[in-house]
Amino acid sequence: MRTSEQTFPADFTFGVATSAYQVEGGIENDWAEWERAGRLKEPHARCGRAVDHWNRYEEDYRLATAVGATAFRISLEWARIEPERGRFDEAALEGYRERLLKMKAHGLTPVVTLHHFTHPTWFHRETPWHSAQSVEVFRRYSRRCAALLEGLDARVITFNEPMVLLLGGYLQGAIPPGIADGALTMKALENLVRSHVVARRELGEKLGRVETGISQNMLAFAPDRWWNPLDRALVRLGGQAYNHAFHEALSTGKLRVNMPGVATARVDIPEARDSAEFVGVNYYSRAHLRFVPRPPFIEFKYRDTQGRGLTDIGWEDWPEGFLQTLRDVKRYGKPVWITENGIDDRTGTRRPKYLHTHLAQVLAARAEGVDVQGYLYWSLLDNFEWLEGWGPRFGLYHVDFDTLERKPTPACDYFRQVATGRKLVAPL
């Protein structure tokens, strides 16, 4: 590698990522209901006060700057902002604005997600994503969000991982709203694309040009049996649907999903054409797909193909797939932001190496001409990990879930070294 390829330019952004429900605490929404219904892996687990970021935000901004971060990704909690349909909570809006102003004062550029998996409790009952009204409801919410972002120069992510929401919430029924229906999934997908478009329009009207995009969970896919044509077809069709259908709709205005027997969509949404300023990539791992002769026809597994050991949550550590993913999004011709990348490492010992190997792929992609402009580590802090509850630890900072004390893991030093020195050196 040439030296220039070992170096991040001065305008490359290093930052950290969080989401409201996972860190703030004290939120009543569809996930809180899901927990009370005993739907987590550990039926008694509760998010509750999370890691109290709502009160400890200033401490957390300091922790972020201490590792050299200059950007901080949060999400706005819709349930706080619009607890009843059509009633907006001014105190919550003001609360977010205050926090974002403080964030800026700490030298952190806000990256703001409007929707990160959670909904107000009324949403699924009154205007679920498969209903046409969902688009108008999201437009109104976005309008309020736009007003609170005035003058902040925030980068905006309308939806975090819409395909994860749809796969988990509409196809498998494992997360709220717990629907398992291929046709409704596709209707919901279409409305999410439309909602992105109207939200971006509201942001633009209020704020002028705003860098707006989505964060897409992107997996490197491989056939479980390399020689099996059905496994290979799944990789092709599944990879296209999961990784690209949404990005592609925002680029071309054509929404295409072709998963025979599972879900299909063929809708033209001309107003979605060229409706993102950047491509947001959340990359974690590789998955092997295997055809099984009964619905849903797909078996999905993580395998430790390299003997590196699965991560603690059970995912393959596969930095090579990061480069493949970044090459793959070059087709959209837009700047790329890594809006999440990270490891569940409960002892904190593997994270520096994970960072090193994954950042090396970012440099390799840049050397190939992929315009990657920023890297946000998931996550600043250990936090509430959805169905997995309190087991996983993705944080640069370890959080004692009893005392809520934050303590640096060994990756903090390493992250600071790279973010401030701009050189990718191997961890000690």
CB nearer ligand BGC, residue 314 or residue 421: 314
Cα 346 to Cα 349: distance, rounded to the nearest angstrom: 8
Which amino acid is present at 397? Y
We find the least distance from the C-beta atom of residue 342 to ligand BGC, in angstroms, to be 7
- Residues with Cβ within 8 Å of 410's Cβ and at least 6 positions away in sequence, in order, are 348, 349, 351, 352, 427
CB nearer ligand BGC, residue 161 or residue 190: 161
We find the least distance from the C-beta atom of residue 387 to ligand BGC, in angstroms, to be 10
Cα 395 to Cα 422: distance, rounded to the nearest angstrom: 21
Nearest residue to 114 (alpha-carbon basis) of 161, 69, 55? 161
We find the least distance from the C-beta atom of residue 161 to ligand BGC, in angstroms, to be 5
The one-character DSSP state at 162 is H
We find the least distance from the C-beta atom of residue 315 to ligand BGC, in angstroms, to be 9
We find the least distance from the C-beta atom of residue 217 to ligand BGC, in angstroms, to be 5
The one-character DSSP state at 84 is B
List of E strands, 126-194 = 155-160
What's the CA angle centered on 276, arms 163 and 419, to 5 degrees? 85
CA torsion through residues 142, 379, 170, 295, sign: positive
CB nearer ligand BGC, residue 282 or residue 325: 282
CB nearer ligand BGC, residue 35 or residue 385: 385
Beta bridge partners of 71: 15, 109
CB nearer ligand BGC, residue 82 or residue 344: 344
Strands 397-399 and 406-408: antiparallel
CB nearer ligand BGC, residue 282 or residue 417: 282
Six-digit token pair at 307? Answer: 């003997």
CB nearer ligand BGC, residue 14 or residue 394: 394
- Residues with Cβ within 8 Å of 238's Cβ and at least 6 positions away in sequence, in order, are 221, 259, 289, 298
Six-digit token pair at 303? Answer: 């395998």
We find the least distance from the C-beta atom of residue 340 to ligand BGC, in angstroms, to be 6
We find the least distance from the C-beta atom of residue 22 to ligand BGC, in angstroms, to be 6
CB nearer ligand BGC, residue 13 or residue 19: 19
Kind and range of the H or E run holding 106: none
We find the least distance from the C-beta atom of residue 377 to ligand BGC, in angstroms, to be 11
CB nearer ligand BGC, residue 158 or residue 217: 217
We find the least distance from the C-beta atom of residue 379 to ligand BGC, in angstroms, to be 7
We find the least distance from the C-beta atom of residue 386 to ligand BGC, in angstroms, to be 6
Question: What φ, ψ does residue 325 adopt, rounded to 5°?
Answer: -65, -45
Question: What φ, ψ does residue 408 adopt, rounded to 5°?
Answer: -65, 140
Helices (H) and strands (E) in the chain, counts: 14, 13
We find the least distance from the C-beta atom of residue 165 to ligand BGC, in angstroms, to be 10
CB nearer ligand BGC, residue 160 or residue 185: 160
List of E strands, 70-211 = 71-75, 109-115, 155-160
Q: Are 124 and 177 in contact (CB under 8 A)?
A: yes
3-state secondary structure of 71: strand
Q: Which residues bind ligand BGC (CB under 6 A)?
A: 19, 22, 160-161, 164, 217, 282, 340, 378, 385, 394
3-state secondary structure of 376: strand
3-state secondary structure of 157: strand
Kindly give the residue spans of alpha helices, DSSP state H, lying in 313-377.
Answer: 320-328, 351-367
CB nearer ligand BGC, residue 60 or residue 202: 60
